[in-house]
Amino acid sequence: REVVLPSELHSRVDYHLKSYLSQKSATRDGYPNNTLPTSRTSESLVGEADEPLRQSPVAEGILRRKSFQLRNKQQDWQESVEGQKMQELRRSLPAYKEKEALLNAISRNQVIVVSGETGCGKTTQLPQYILESEIEAARGAVCSIICTQPRRISAMSVAERVAAERGEKLGDSVGYKVRLEGIKGRDTRLLFCTTGILLRRLLLDRSLQGVTHVIVDEIHERGMNEDFLLIVLKELLPRRPELKLILMSATLNAELFSSYFGGAPMMHIPGFTYPVRSYFLENILEMTGYRLSTYNQIDNYGQEKSWKMQKQTLRKRKTQIASAAEDALGAADLRELNPWTRDSLSCWNPDSIGFNLIENVVCHICKKERPGAILVFMTGWDDINSLKDQLQSHPLLGDPTKVLLLACHGSMDSSEQKLIFNKPEDGIRKIVLATNMAETSITINDVVYVVDCGKAKETSYDALNNTPCLLPAWISKASARQRRGRAGRVQPGECYHLYPRSVYDAFAEYQLPELLRTPLQSLCLQIKSLQLGSISDFLSKALQPPEPLSVQNAIEYLKIIGALDDKENLTVLGRKLSVLPVEPKLGKMLILGAIFNCLDPIMTVVAGLSVRDPFLMPFEKKDLAESAKAQFSGGDNSDHLALLRAYDGWKAAERQQSGAEYCWRNFLSSQTLRAIDSLRKQFYHLLRDCGLVENMEKCNTWSHDQHLIRAIICSGLFPGICSVVNKEKSVSLKTMEDGPVLLYLNSVNAQEPRIPYPWLVFNEKVKVNTVFLRDSTAVSDSVVLLFGGTVSKGAMDGHLKMLGGYLEFFMKPGLAATYLTLKRELDELIQMK
Ligand code: CDP
Ligand code: MG
């Protein structure tokens, strides 16, 4: 068994401590307690907060002259031939009829709530109306409008669209800013940004100096950042009486927001959509010629179940649907069914999507129905890609002379993005596979057919078990209606819901707000760093406050990792973590990587965890792919070290121009590896700007030390830890909260008959039926004892308890004391006092 003996680790850590401390006292001492990094020059900063749009005080005369210039420029464009054409197009949007009323309401009220059908022109027009009217009133040079979007891609595409409508390039009067990138110039007056960017800006500038209008878009989605931003803005408004706030929402629950802001006026933009016919699974099966007998049996079963569901709570209701599906699947004789039928049955299960069924439906439309684009709603990047592969090998759907097959999800690049909006040539059918971002934030004009799988990937959070889950879940009735509405933009449309009517009837009315279904750790850190007072008090002011238990869990977690002290004050580590735009656990790894001069490998691991797994697991070649991955593990019992080796190998291959071949051979995604590569660079700049690293060489003197890498991974992932007991033929794993757990099959540790370590630290656990762990690294007792969490009052007890049987071995007199001293020193070092 390969273990690091306590004494060996002791001297190792001792060595690092001493060398670090001497090095630190020789140079400057971390960075001072109350300052945030000041160097914000580098455009490449990850999620860097924005400078105020307005430059430092400029003489009034210059501002006035600038305003006149802006006005002339705008008039010139509006009078030009192209400008006229554009105006005409813009006037055809429903929002135009309300333009004057909207501007009037804005000038008379501090807050207004605007709702309107998707595509009516809220996002592209309203911010533009404000900008135009400010420029016309010769206030162009002093106005500063910020419009937030929940997603990067919409911030970018909308900014581009608005700049084009104004006959300008991006970065003139209109710009955008999202994490990792942005285009804006000195004269940018209207900035589209993600909600996260505005929150970071608030961190540096709590009263949003110089900003005249804040527009929060897509509030109906009830994302966590948006709900959080609304609490902050609500508190800010009385301090900034001249600041205008405009809330925009697609569906009609405007009353909720209006009453939150003390009865702010509501404006509605009436829109027009064509009727859309709905088909549910039963109709679809009939339409495509499927024997109904088995289905009816199952449907009766389902209806009975769904009737019972009426009484259940939302969460229970979802599990009930799932179990109805399972029972149904059990009841049917699966051998009798062809793959497609089996697929349609699996549509009952919220975790799976019937690819064959989708293929059949799409094919049916292409062959039998009139022209018009097809929009398919899927749950995420993974299944969009898999489905795309499958459709591409279909004789009709894969024929580029007949079908234009496109994907639309958050992480695609902008060139691919544009293709989605283009109209294909006559005779070619456009099919767009999209996530739920196509529900409201993106409008594809020529869609006539919508295929709705009925699911969306939703982060949910089980506060009782403190387990976050990212799982496909049934959507709400509101989402289903919204999806259906996408088919009726240009002519009457059709919507194929790939689930039975009875399942639809059991859907919840609205989706639960994100604040109520996700872990709150990052949010709590932000509350603290924005000095918004007690976390619980602050969150109790939300539109719909989260459960006290979830808040407590998050606070507890932050204490365990040492980001908050016992009195809930931000520690030095906590302050640093709140500046790093990554989850606290990943931030902690980066900081330790920097402290221990072991940065390079840690940046790779963290980037890997924040992008996605680069190891591809194609279903048909699963065995080959698994053994390719296993070969990177080298018996290390660590998915993180395997990723590190794979990445390093790819870098070496890239230098010899054989990166693509390397990826192909090893079942790796070169796209993901490139994303990891670029994120690593961002991390480096960020850490340098925070004063955490000085130069690349110095921060890598210990990068070869595998034990240290493991220890730092443990420091970040703790308390995500499970115990390992090697049985006769298998390995049994347990966590303190869940009891027995399993590993995802693609983990290198899942392939091992034995794991020669007592613990696995893991990045994520997901609850399906059992709890599954994703991405794990095996660690020794001493690593857990030293690097797992901080020693605050009760924490050491907890540690020792967890280490259970190993305690005796460790707690030999003398050794225990050494550990405690060492642990304390280490904690202090991490806090960098
Ligand atoms: O925000 P809302 O859903 O109300 O509408 P919007 O995003 O402002 O879109 C208004 C119109 O502009 C729609 O008809 C879109 O199709 C069009 N648009 C476009 O052609 N290209 C874009 N990049 C964005 C919008
Ligand atoms: Mg919009």
Task: Find the angle CA(137)-CA(139)-CA(141) to the nearest 5 degrees.
Answer: 145
Longest CA–CA span in the chain (Å) reads 88
Give the ligand whose atoms come closest to the C-alpha of residue 98: 1
Nearest to 717 by CA among 606, 794, 822: 606
Mean pLDDT of 312-320: 41
The better pLDDT of the pair 687, 810 is held by: 687
pLDDT at 811: 53
Per DSSP, the three-state class of 372 is coil
- Whether the per-residue pLDDT at 636 is higher than 50: the answer is yes
**Mean pLDDT score, 356-380:** 89
Please state, for a pLDDT cut of 70, what percent of the chain lies above it.
78
Classify each residue of 518-553 as buried b or exposed e, where b means 16 or more C-beta atoms within 10 Å of its C-beta. bbbbbbbbbbbbbebeebbebbeebbebbbeebbeb
H-helix or E-strand spanning residue 216: strand 213-216
Q: Determine the Cα–Cα distance for residues 136 and 140; give it in Å rounded to an integer.
A: 7
Query: How much distance in Å is there from the Cα of 207 to the middle of ligand 2?
Result: 26
Indicate which ligand has the atom closest to the C-alpha of 125: 1
**Ligand 1 atom with minimal separation from the 116 CA:** 4
Nearest residue (CA) to ligand 1, atom 19: 161
**Residue of the nearest CA to atom 21 in ligand 1?**
161
Q: How far is the CA of 439 from the centre of ligand 2 (A)?
A: 10
Q: What is the DSSP string of 184-212?
A: --TT--EEEEEHHHHHHHHHH-TT-TT--
Q: H or E stretch including 19?
A: helix 6-26
120 C-alpha vs ligand 2 centroid, how far in Å? 8
Name, of 253-257, 347-351, 794-798, the range with top average pLDDT: 253-257
Contact 220, 147 (CB under 8 A): no
pTM higher than 0.90: no
Cα–Cα distance list, 232 to 236, 582, 682, 709, 728 (Å): 6, 21, 28, 39, 56
Q: What is the pLDDT of residue 541?
A: 94
Residue 205's pLDDT band (boundaries 50, 70, 90)? confident
Q: Which atom of ligand 1 is nearest to the CA of 118?
A: 3
Lateral strand order in the sheet of 429-434:
276-279, 493-497, 447-452, 373-377, 429-434, 403-408
Q: Which residues line ligand 1 (CB under 6 A)?
A: 93, 116, 118-125, 157, 161, 421, 443, 445
Q: What confidence score (pLDDT) does residue 28 get?
A: 30
Ligand 1 centroid – CA 75 distance (Å): 23
577, burial (CB in 10 Å: exposed 0-12, middle 13-18, buried 19+): buried
**Which residue lies with its CA nearest to atom 13 of ligand 1?**
119
Interior/surface letters 208-227, b for 16+ CB within 10 angstroms, e for the rest: beebbbbbbbbbbbbbbbbb
∠ CA 440-441-445, rounded to 5°: 80
**How much distance in Å is there from the Cα of 94 to the middle of ligand 1?**
11
Predicted local confidence at residue 758, as pLDDT: 86
What's the mean pLDDT in 182-210? 90
SS3 289: coil
- To the nearest whole number, what is the mean pLDDT of the chain? 80
Which atom of ligand 1 is closest in space to residue 443's alpha carbon?
Answer: 16
Q: Per-residue pLDDT for 314 more than 70?
A: no
Report pLDDT for 9: 55
Query: pLDDT tens, 127-162?
Result: 999 999 999 999 999 999 999 998 888 898 899 999
Residues 6+ apart with CB under 8 A from 655: none
160-172 burial, b at 16+ Cβ within 10 Å, e below that, comes to bbbbebbbbebbb
Q: How many helices (H) and strands (E) does the chain have?
A: 35, 21
Residue with tokens 């006005």: 71
N-term to C-term CA, the chain:
38
Smallest-distance ligand from the CA of 117: 1
pLDDT band at 610 (very low <50, low <70, confident <90, very high): confident
The CA-atom distances, in angstroms, between 634 and each of 599, 604, 627, 641, 682 are: 22, 18, 11, 9, 29
Residue nearest to atom 18 of ligand 1 (CA): 443
Instruction: Determine the atom of ligand 1 nearest the C-alpha atom of 95.
Output: 4
Q: Tell the residue nearest (CA) to atom 7 of ligand 1.
A: 123
> Relative to the alpha carbon of 414, which ligand is closest?
1
- Give distance in angstroms: CA of 442 to centre of ligand 2: 7
pLDDT value at position 16?
57
Residues 317-335: pLDDT tens digits? 444 444 444 444 443 333 3
Candidate of 149, 443, 482, 490 to mutate for ligand 1, largest count of ligand atoms within 8 Å of Cβ: 443
Question: Nearest ligand, CA of residue 120?
Answer: 1
Residue-level pLDDT at 208: 95
Distance CA 98, CA 116 (A): 11
* Centroid of ligand 2 to alpha carbon of 218 (angstroms): 7
Looking at residue 668, the DSSP 8-state letter turns out to be: B
Q: If DSSP states are collapsed to H, E and C, what string results for 532-551?
A: CCCHHHHHCCCCCCCCHHHH
- Scan for tokens 């110095």, then name that residue: 698
Q: What single DSSP character describes residue 98?
A: T
Ligand 1 centroid – CA 400 distance (Å): 27
Whether 205 contacts 211, CB under 8 Å: no
Q: Identify the residue whose tokens are 């100096």.
A: 209
Of 549, 546, 571, give the one whose Cα is nearest residue 559. 571
pLDDT at 221: 85
Place of tokens 């140079």: 27
Query: Residue 512's Cα: distance from chain center in Å?
Result: 17
Q: How far apart are CA 149 and CA 250, in angstroms?
A: 13
Would the pLDDT of 50 be above 90? no
| Stretch 708-734: mean pLDDT | 90
Tokens of 391: 């459709």
> If you measure from the C-alpha of residue 445 to the centroid of ligand 2, how many angstroms do you get, rounded to a whole number?
13
**CB 158 within 8 Å of CB 123:** yes
pLDDT for 764-815, tens place per residue? 887 767 888 988 999 987 788 788 877 655 555 555 555 554 444 455 555 6
Bridging pattern class, strands 467-474 and 455-462: antiparallel
DSSP for residue 337: S
- Identity of the highest mean pLDDT range in 28-32, 104-108, 420-424: 104-108
Question: Which of 92, 124, 267, 375 gets mutated to test ligand 1 (max ligand atoms within 8 A of its CB)?
Answer: 124
